Structure 1
Amino acid sequence: MTPSPLSWLPLPCSPDRAEDELASGSDDQALDPVLPAALHRGSDAGEAAAAWVRELAGRQCEEEHARALGRVAEAITWASSREIIPGSEGLLAEELRYTLAADVVLGASHTTGTLPELHAGERAALVTACALAAALPSCVLGDLERELTVLAEVACAAEAGRLATAAGDARALPVPRQRTLGQEHGDPLDCLAYRRVAESAAAAFAAALHYQGGRDEEACA
């Protein structure tokens, strides 16, 4: 994935710009107290998703992959806050749209020759989070409050990604070798328990033979 030229953008922040635009818009919009809350909800959801992507970036051994994912986190934060401008055309900046494309899962593979270190399930969550973030600015063209609520599920995508991360980390742990009950050099208590289990099994078998009328001493042994 070619690095996106986001370096010229200021650091993302809360959707104050969107609220300013809202206040300077039509009287109906300015009097609606629900919209600022929706704007902040979208911004918070985007920041939650970006925080997870930054965790993915911090896990990368390849610096190029780390930087690529860092740009993705920045783009998610920006798209979910400063790009949501009521009264605008609802178009996402080209640089952000490129950064949030599906090939985000390839990281900087064109220069490193490797893929980012992502667990199974993280890729799908990453693409979903990016797609939802990229769609956030367009909600100003419709029912902004309702559509922002739906698109704020970018945070849910990040939570699914965290679950995939936890599952992947667990799978990577070494599997401890289970001790065999009664093993030769095991715990003495294990040996006692093993003998007790063997004695109980032999007694049960002998009782079964008795009630069946059996007299097979070899089978009992």
Structure 2
Amino acid sequence: MGTTTLIGLGVIAVFVIFVVMIYNRLVSLRNQFKNGFAQIDVQLQRRHDLIPNLVEAAKAYLQHERSTLTEVMEARNNAVSAQKDAARDPGEAGKMQRLGGAESLLTKALANFYAVAENYPELKANETIQQLMEELSSTENRVAFARQAYNDGVMTYNTYREQFPNNIIAGMFAFKPTAQLELESPEARRAPKVAF
């Protein structure tokens, strides 16, 4: 073999190693943001599981507020559906936007519930209701932290994916951009206020 052939093989080997390194880093970053979504998924499931208990416990006190309870349950069911859909492919931007919208509606419905509950002192005094509302508020904070970690992972992945020459390799191997999980309205970004 001649020197030119060896140099050519060396260049090809370096190029292949370089492509493999970029590919492996893209896979690693994609898995990190998917893991971040799994953490959100756990907290959203906890949130969604607490809501029916809260609504059930409040039914006896809120006889005249059935529409508020119905709104909370419908928003919860929509959020559960969006969560399951997003969990199947956390990299799909449209699914993440739908989840963000559904969670925003759920947050608004819970805020309405809390506002109505303010008018019922016996409801606020109920120990079960207090405990459920406290757990729900704690879960809201956990969701916010998990969402921040997920969004950081998505940003790192998207940035790496868009950099040259990574963007060429990402395009060759179909590494798609993904969306952050954002809530739709500024007021929905605040955790519901629970006051007794």
**Structure of higher RCO (CA pairs closer than 8 Å, 6+ residues apart):** 2
Provide TM-score, normalisation by structure 1: 0.35
| Greater radius of gyration (CA) | 1
TM-score after normalising by structure 2: 0.39
Q: Higher helix share goes to which structure?
A: 2
